[in-house]
């Protein structure tokens, strides 16, 4: 038995959730604002609380996407264990191609047909120059399986991104990957734990847990709103 803990970094989508900016498409191709900007103080505090929560666990290795903000998150989590952070390109964020830097409204106005196709099936459709969910799974899953095999009977921590983690979990657990944006949520610095019997058999033990947000352990995630998925945003059927 081996255990893998996953945690997403603080994406710009989460700033939108807090009402600080419009939700926009920022994936692995972006190399400006996200790379320059580090975690907010709130983000560091929530990550420090997760680090404290995990400080007594026997974690032997920490892996992360090479994105700057993700590395900062991973280093905070690795510090109590005296570990360095090892990067894996397979865990990087999804690339949205020529949508990068654009808000959802801008994409819908400039590329309405692409936006409609992506809303219907983000797993197989990709904007020009970008990645589909399938492409992300095809690079992230081999990276994960390699680590599972390399750390037999050991606990490791992977710090990645919201979309990448949701796609991995969909594949591991047999969920319909076309609905990964609708049915699975991820808060920044949340804790997900997957137990592996071997490289092909996995069990979800903990999902999107943010109890460390509150020092008393009473935090409950808010109902998902202002996400890029319209499934939750459409009030017509509410």
CATH number reported for the structural domain that contains residue 46 in this entry: 3.40.50.1240
The whole-model pTM stands at: 0.85
Q: Concatenated DSSP letters for 169-197?
A: HHHHHT--GGGHHHH----TT-EEEEEEE
Q: What is the pLDDT along the chain (238 residues), one digit of tens a residue?
A: 578 888 887 654 433 333 233 344 554 433 333 444 578 888 899 999 999 999 999 999 999 999 998 999 999 999 999 999 999 999 999 999 999 888 888 999 999 999 999 999 999 999 999 999 999 999 999 999 999 999 999 999 999 999 999 999 999 999 999 999 888 988 889 999 999 999 889 999 999 999 998 776 666 766 666 555 666 666 544 4
Taking CA 182 as the corner, what is the angle to CA 109 and CA 37, rounded to the nearest 5 degrees?
Answer: 65
In a domain, 127, yes or no: yes
In a domain, 12, yes or no: yes
Residue 20: domain span: 2-233
Torsion of CA 182, 186, 188, 191, to 10 degrees: 180
Number of compact structural domains in the chain = 1
| CA 204 – CA 202 distance, rounded (Å) | 7
Q: How many CA atoms lie less than 13 Å away from 211 in the CB half-sphere?
A: 9
Strands 155-160 and 191-198 turn out to be unpaired
In a domain, 204, yes or no: yes
């Amino acid at each position: 038995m081996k255990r893998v803990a996953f945690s997403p970094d603080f994406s710009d989508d989460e700033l939108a959730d807090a009402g600080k900016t419009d939700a926009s498409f920022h994936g692995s191709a972006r190399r400006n604002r996200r790379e320059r900007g580090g975690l907010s103080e709130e983000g560091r505090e929530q990550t420090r609380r997760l680090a404290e929560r995990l400080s007594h666990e026997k974690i032997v290795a920490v892996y992360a996407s090479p994105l700057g903000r993700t590395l900062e998150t991973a280093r905070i989590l690795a510090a109590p264990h005296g570990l360095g952070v090892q990067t894996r390109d397979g865990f990087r964020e999804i690339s949205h191609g020529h949508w990068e830097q654009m808000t959802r409204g801008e994409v819908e106005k400039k590329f309405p047909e692409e936006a409609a196709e992506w809303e219907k099936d983000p797993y197989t459709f990709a904007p020009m120059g970008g990645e589909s969910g399938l492409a992300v799974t095809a690079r992230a899953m081999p990276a994960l399986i390699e680590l599972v095999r390399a750390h037999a009977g050991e606990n490791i921590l992977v710090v990645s991104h919201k979309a990448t983690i949701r796609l991995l979990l969909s594949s591991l657990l047999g969920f319909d990957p076309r609905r990964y944006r609708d049915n699975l949520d991820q808060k920044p610095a949340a804790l997900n734990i997957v137990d592996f019997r071997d490289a092909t058999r996995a069990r979800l033990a903990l999902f999107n847990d943010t109890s460390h947000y509150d020092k008393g352990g009473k935090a409950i995630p808010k109902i998902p709103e202002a996400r890029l998925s319209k499934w939750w945003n459409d009030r017509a059927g509410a």
